[in-house]
């Protein structure tokens, strides 16, 4: 029965409903009922140059910009609906134009202005909360700080990179003096997973206080820095050093020890390609009787862009061992020596004996018989008189003698008269 009633004259019923809806919309559009709604907007500071031109600023500008003002507006419902769709017409501001005589340290209460832009009419601002705000005046200060780059996360252990290159090394921090004073560092963060191969990354800069907390209310001369990473290779190369000169007489060159003997270096692949060893300066051991020790900063002998991977390899220690050879003392008598370079008309007499230090290989020294040693005394150009003249021994190859002198007396030969002859 109910179904029959519902379906009876269904077309007329649907038509009636449609007419009723149309009539309702017509009534709404004609009568335009009035409603009240609340909207929220943030504060904008206007005419800031009134202060900045005199080296002043608003200390609490950051807080004011974050202050939300609740505005109650009365208008026709359709007008409020348009405002719901886009409330950009609505502007909330605090005008600083009246602060031309404000001074550092002043605290001034200023009204909050609400305005409908675009010439729209029919809107009535019933209330606004807050109606005013306190503005704190402070002098502008600035300082420059180095830019720090912080790696968020860790690179793979086998990843090698040069020190990152920044598009700028320093940044200028400016704002209210008391706020700028809090800033001790400006950092930009880079995510480790983004560092792949040779790459450039942007790092947003943030000012921090001594506790590592971001500082609000300051301006940075740049908001972002570009960080460039260059991938590096590693290579192990030996250390080379040359020895010049000869040790003191009776001493010989021993082993040369470098610590470390090899170093692992890192650098761009093209820089490492032709680098096969590190050449240190020559070490002079002339007349040395003791070991010669030298230290070298390896960085001074690597091409630009190449560094030692291990901090323990930053300094190379070189020890050149100097040791005494086998030495024995022999006594040489005058009858074992002969005169060389003598002149006719002069007589030469060698007297006494002399001790000579002879050095060399032990096997050869053992074969030398002291009594069979022979040598010469060169008297070339010496005048009549007594002289100490060096002796020159005839020694096997590889054996050397120290300096030794013996007394030689030179006299004129006696002239015999003819009648006596």
E strands along 77-184, which residues? 90-95, 107-111, 113-116, 124-129, 132-152, 165-166, 170-176
- Give the residue ranges of DSSP H helices in 137-283: 177-180, 269-272
Q: What is the DSSP string of 59-76?
A: TTHHHHHT-EEEEEEEEE
With beta carbons less than 8 A apart as the criterion, state whether 320 and 292 touch. Answer: yes
Read off the pLDDT of residues 86-99 as tens digits, 9 standing for 90 and up: 767 889 999 999 99
Mean of the per-residue pLDDT values for the chain?
87
With beta carbons less than 8 A apart as the criterion, state whether 350 and 408 touch. Answer: yes
pLDDT band at 7 (very low <50, low <70, confident <90, very high): low
Q: What is the DSSP string of 366-421?
A: HH--GGG--EEEE-TT--SEEEEEEEEE---TT-EE---EEEEEEEEPPPPPTTT-
What is each CA distance from 161 to 65, 101, 311, in whole angstroms? 42, 56, 16
As a whole number of angstroms, the distance between CA 246 and CA 288 comes to: 8
Helix-strand-coil split of the chain, %, nearest 5: 20, 45, 35
Q: Has residue 217 got a pLDDT over 80? A: yes
Q: What percent of the chain has pLDDT over 70?
A: 90
Q: Has residue 5 got a pLDDT over 60? A: no
| Domains of the chain, CATH where assigned | 9-130 (2.170.120), 139-231 (2.170.120.40), 234-324 (2.170.120.40), 327-412 (2.170.120.30)
Q: What is the pTM of this model?
A: 0.54
Read off the pLDDT of residues 246-303 as tens digits, 9 standing for 90 and up: 888 767 888 898 888 899 998 888 888 889 999 999 999 998 877 899 999 998 999 8
């Amino acid at each position: 029965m109910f179904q029959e009633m519902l379906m009876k004259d269904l077309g007329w019923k649907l038509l009636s409903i449609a007419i009723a809806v149309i009539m309702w919309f017509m009534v709404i559009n004609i009568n335009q009922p009035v409603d009240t709604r609340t909207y929220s907007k943030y504060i904008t500071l206007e005419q800031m140059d009134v202060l900045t031109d005199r080296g002043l600023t608003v200390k609490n500008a950051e807080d004011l910009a974050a202050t939300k003002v609740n505005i109650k507006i009365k208008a026709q419902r359709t007008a409020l609906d348009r405002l719901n769709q886009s409330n950009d017409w609505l502007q909330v501001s605090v005008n600083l134009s009246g602060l031309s005589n404000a001074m550092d340290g002043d605290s001034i209460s200023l009204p909050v202005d609400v305005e409908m832009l675009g010439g729209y009419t029919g809107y009535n601002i019933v209330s606004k909360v807050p109606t005013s705000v306190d503005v704190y005046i402070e002098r502008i200060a600035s300082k420059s700080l180095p830019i720090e780059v912080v790696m968020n996360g860790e690179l793979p252990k086998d990843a090698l990179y040069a020190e990152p290159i920044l598009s700028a090394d320093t940044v200028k921090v400016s704002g209210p003096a008391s706020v700028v004073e809090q800033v001790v560092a400006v950092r930009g963060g880079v995510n480790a997973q983004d560092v792949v191969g040779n790459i450039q990354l942007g790092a947003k800069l943030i000012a921090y206080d001594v506790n590592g907390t971001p500082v609000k209310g300051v301006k940075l001369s740049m908001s972002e820095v570009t960080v460039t990473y260059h991938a590096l290779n590693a290579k192990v190369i030996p250390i080379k050093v040359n020895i010049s000169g000869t040790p003191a007489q009776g001493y010989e060159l021993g082993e040369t020890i470098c610590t470390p003997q090899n170093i692992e270096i890192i650098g761009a692949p093209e820089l490492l390609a032709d680098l096969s060893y590190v050449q240190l300066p020559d070490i002079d051991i002339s007349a040395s009787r003791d070991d010669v020790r030298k230290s070298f900063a390896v960085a001074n002998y690597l091409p630009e862009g190449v560094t030692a991977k291990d901090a323990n390899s930053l300094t190379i220690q070189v020890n050149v061992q100097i040791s005494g050879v086998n030495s024995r003392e022999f006594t040489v008598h005058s009858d074992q020596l002969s005169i060389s370079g003598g002149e006719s008309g002069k007589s030469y007499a060698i007297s006494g004996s002399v001790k000579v230090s002879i050095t060399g290989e032990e096997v050869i020294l053992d074969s030398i018989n002291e009594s069979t040693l022979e040598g010469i005394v060169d008297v070339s150009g010496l005048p009549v008189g007594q002289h100490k003249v060096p002796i020159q021994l005839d020694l096997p190859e590889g054996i050397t003698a120290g300096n030794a002198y013996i007394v030689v007396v030179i006299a004129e030969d006696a002239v015999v008269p003819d009648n006596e002859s």
